[in-house]
Amino acid sequence: MSRTPKKAPFDRVAGAHKPFTWIHQDVEKSPLIDFVDMTVDISTGLETCLGLVHASELEHLANDSCAEGEESPPTLGMIERHNLLRFAIATSKMLRLHSSEMVDWINEFKRVKRSGGNQS
């Protein structure tokens, strides 16, 4: 006998993901607002990655000064630490590139505003 599975508690067409933003819903959307929102997420992730790498480095150092057999396993191995550092470097590069685009957008907005709205 086959049983029909219970219906999922959410509409699969609509999906379970609900967009999240740090910015209050009453604030008018703009590229700058989106950038600030994204920067909060990215910097939080970078802080977490670098904090894990740092804590693991401290554990490795502490193990170096422990008596034989009293070492504690570090949170991350060498490969995991290097992968997180590479991820943090790539992420900060992406944030820098996006920041440069935002600077260009802000400067263009100011130039257009000064010229009375003429973009040419």
Structure-token pair, residue 7: 């219906």
If the chain, 120 residues long, is cut into consecutive pieces of 10 residues, what is the mean pLDDT of each piece? Answer: 57 64 82 88 95 94 90 91 97 94 87 72
Inside any domain, residue 51: yes
pLDDT of residue 8: 52
pLDDT of residue 29: 82
Tell me the residue range of the domain where 103 lies: 32-110
Structure-token pair, residue 88: 């943090």
Inside any domain, residue 79: yes
pLDDT of residue 15: 60
pLDDT of residue 21: 80
Q: How many domains would you assign to the chain?
A: 1
Inside any domain, residue 60: yes
Inside any domain, residue 99: yes
